Amino acid sequence: MESSTIPYLRAQGVTKDFGSVRVLDDVSMDINSGDVVSIIGPSGAGKSTFLRCINLLETPTEGVLEIGDFRITIGPGHKHATKKELSTLRRNVGMVFQSFNLFPHLSVLENICLAQRRVLGRDKDAARVRAFELLDRVGLSDKADAFPGRCSGGQQQRVAIARSLSLDPQVMLFDEPTSALDPEVGAEILAVMRELADDGMTMIIVTHEMAFAQEVGDRIYVMVDGRIVESGAPAQVMTNPTHERTKKFLGAVLGR
Amino acid sequence: MFLYILQGLVWTVIITVGGFTFGAVVGVGVAAARVATSRIVRIIARVWVDVIRGVPPLVWLFVVFFGLAEVGLRLTAFQAAILTFSLIASAYLGEIYRGGLAALGKGQVEAAHSLGLGRFDILARIVSPQVLRTVSPSMVTYGIGLMKDSALASTIGVVEMTFRANQVTQNTGQGLTAFAIVGAIYLAMSIPLGVWARRVDNRMREKYVVA
Amino acid sequence: MMTPATWFGYVFELLPGLVTALQLTGISLLLGYPLALIFAVLLDGKNRVVRWVVLALVELGRGIPLLVLLYIFYQGLPQVSIIPSAFTAAIWAFTWSTAGYGTEIIRSSLKSVPQGQLEAAKAVGLRESDRFRFVVLPQAARIAIPPLMGLAIIMFQLSSLAYVITLSEVMQSAYFLGTKTFNYLPVFLAAAAVYAAVTIPASALVTSIERRLGRHV
């Protein structure tokens, strides 16, 4: 977990309003290459919204985003991101959803190959080779020709992870990846994520899995009501929170 | 010309409203027959509905108007139109009710039974309100369709808008104007009704998104 | 007296009309469905003028009874010196109506594709045309097929309307047969049987397809 001097991903002053409701309030975060960062907090705190702002699935009302060479300033008076910029951004930022969102009409293999071919322009064979590599990595080589409808939740999520990895992204975003799964199955997914982290992937994870956040990760951010109220090393935040709100949240969640 | 054609609107409305109302009432019976305990009743109802819906309304109009006249039952064009549309509407609305009933599920009725409510109360206070709320958008949509179908009555001589437009065309040769007027009047009715249908639909969806 | 043989004789005489009806329906659907898809896509487009024009076309096709549309093309156009044949006028009217109702069905099916699918497609970097082609359209098609088939059956039934513009389909033949034999009731019941023989199995087919499509997704 080496850190370079210049953060790979930088969010500054990200604010998001939905009508009159301020969902994100001046959120800033610096992430170095190889960092694994967890975002925790009560529901409705804006964690998912912030994550989705990073790959511009949601457009912030204001803010600055820097990811590698990509830089965009959002706000009144600034131009919207062009389609090409969005495409480049999303090539480098992978996302895994809570509800998997696999394409049900395509087989597992086709799910993983589609973006490679259409976005990266890889030819059919190169895409298949990479797809099989990734399926192997997540332990699902035998499911290549199956359809998502025939796969269990845990299998679907693993395919989703493989699909995002197929574009060789620099950063992976995880939006509550295990919330829709049984605890046992969730553990499998967390294991895959742990491996990814060990291999040096830069990861931002929104999660309710406190144990995971504590063990795997360089930093934890606590978000409440659209703001980051606390951040720091996992051990410190979890056992010795400084902010009132953090104490309250952890108290409820961890039963202390 | 406009006024002459517009006068036909009265007939359009009467046939639509009449057909819909009778159909809505008889439709309850149709729906009940479709879910009856007796298998024979269920089968007869199924055949009745499928046949009525499987044959074009125009054919039924002719069967009722020309066909029945042959076996002694001479109806005026107006009576034939109302009768035909009532029967057709009862089949369609009956199916709509049945769908709403199925969507309600057994749970509601079971809960009502376990509370000791009587059959009539269950039907009137528990089942009907909920089913009606679910199916009212479909009923409004069907009503709009029925209004458009009422134009068919012109073929058996009911002096509604389309009939008058035909007359005007034969007398003056200005078919485009005449039928454009008819079209415009139908639009003037169906578009607001369509907007209302969508509002009913939205309100219904709202009420059900509770928690 | 009326014997079954006579009655079946009536049915037989109506069959050529059935062919015409099927032709009319088939061609109108072949033209109307693609038109509906184009309209549905254009309605979500950026150009305001295009949207309004398409909306007008769709609302006219849906809001005006098919019978009136038929009259407009057959009896109305001659006022401006366009005199189409019965079949041509019928095709125009039916195509317009099909496109009108079809557009609603397709729009609704496009909207029914779960939001998460679009997000996943975006998140993985697919551009808009690819998102539509590979993710949204295939799934929307599955949702749209049963109602579109239902529309086809309804259009087939409505082919009976072409009788009023003297197209020799089933009803026209039935009417002539009726005036010839004065046995109106059996003749029209024969016509009813001809229609039912097509629509009832077709509807059953649609229901079974609906069930099979529902299982996949």
When pLDDT is cut at 50, 70 and 90, the band that residue C32 belongs to is very high
Q: What is the pLDDT of residue A216?
A: 84
Task: Tell me, yes or no, whether A4 lies in a domain.
Answer: no
Closest of C181, C161, C143, C146 to residue C13, by C-alpha: C181
**What pLDDT shows up at residue B46?**
92
Residue A2 within any structural domain of the chain: no
CATH number at residue B94: 1.10.3720.10
pLDDT bin (cut points 50, 70, 90) of residue B170 is: confident
- The neighbouring-strand residues paired with A202 are A171
| pTM for this predicted structure | 0.78
B155 interfaces chain C, CB cutoff of 8 Å: yes
The tens digit of pLDDT for each residue in C106-135 reads 988 888 888 899 999 999 888 888 999 999
Out of C67, C75, C184, whose CB is closest to B66? C184
Searching chain C, which residue's CA lies closest to the CA of residue A52? C123
Which runs of E-coded beta strand occur in A80-212? Answer: 93-96, 171-175, 202-206
Would you state the pLDDT for residue C65?
A: 92
Where in the sequence is the domain holding C209, given as residue range(s)?
4-216
Is B171 among the domain residues? no
Residue C135 is given by DSSP the state I
Quick one: which H or E segment has residue B31?
helix B9-34
Asked if the structure places residue B163 within a domain, the reply is no
Phi and psi at B115, nearest 5°, equal -85, -5
Instruction: Quickly state the pLDDT bin for C50 (edges 50, 70, 90).
Output: very high
* B151–C203 C-beta distance less than 8 A: no
State the total domains in chain B.
1
Is residue C188 within 8 angstroms of chain B, CB to CB?
A: yes
Of A7, A13, A11, which is closest to residue A54 (Cα–Cα)? A11
pLDDT digits 0-9 by tens, C101-114: 999 899 888 888 88
pLDDT value for A255 = 63
Percent of chain C with pLDDT over 90: 44
Q: How far apart are CA C65 and CA B179, in angstroms?
A: 11
The residues facing B129 across adjacent strands are none
C189 vs B: CB within 8 A = yes
Mutate to test the interface with B, among C68, C112, C158, C171 (most CBs of B within 10 A): C68
pLDDT at A5: 63
Minimal Cα–Cα distance from A242 to chain C, Å?
Answer: 36
Tally of domains within chain A: 1
Contact C124 A97 (CB under 8 A): no
Residue A28's pLDDT is 92
Task: Assign C215 a pLDDT band (cuts: 50, 70, 90).
Answer: low
Nearest 5°: CA angle at B169, between B164 and B173?
A: 160
Q: Is A203 domain-assigned?
A: yes
On whether residue A1 sits in a domain, the answer given is no
Domain annotation covers residue A242: yes
Mean pLDDT of B99-122: 76
- Residues C124, A83: C-beta atoms closer than 8 Å: no
Q: How far is A59 from chain C (nearest CA, A)?
A: 13
Give C166 or B117, the one with higher predicted confidence: C166
pLDDT, position B211:
34
Task: Specify if A233 maps to a domain.
Answer: yes
Please list every residue in chain C whose beta carbon sits closer than 8 Å to the beta carbon of residue B56: 157-161, 171, 195
Q: Are B98 and B53 in contact (CB under 8 A)?
A: no
For residue C129, list chain A residues with Cβ-Cβ distance below 8 A: none
Touching chains A and B? (3+ Cβ pairs < 8 A): no
- Per-residue tens of pLDDT for chain A, all 256 residues: 444 567 889 898 899 988 888 899 999 999 998 899 999 888 877 899 999 899 888 888 989 998 888 888 888 878 777 777 888 888 889 999 988 888 888 899 998 998 888 888 889 999 999 999 999 999 999 989 999 888 999 999 999 999 999 989 999 999 999 988 998 898 889 999 999 999 999 999 999 888 888 888 889 998 888 888 888 888 877 777 777 777 777 777 776 4
pLDDT band at B68 (very low <50, low <70, confident <90, very high): confident
CATH at residue C153: 1.10.3720.10
Do the domain assignments include residue B146? yes
CATH of the domain at A97: 3.40.50.300
Please, are residues C128 and C97 in contact by the beta-carbon 8 Å criterion? no
- Domain range enclosing A210: 9-254
Write down the pLDDT at residue B70.
79
The domain of B140 spans 10-157
Decide if B203 is inside a domain: no
ipTM: 0.82
Give the C-alpha separation, B79 to A98, whole Å. 61
pLDDT-derived band at B133 (thresholds 50, 70, 90) equals: confident
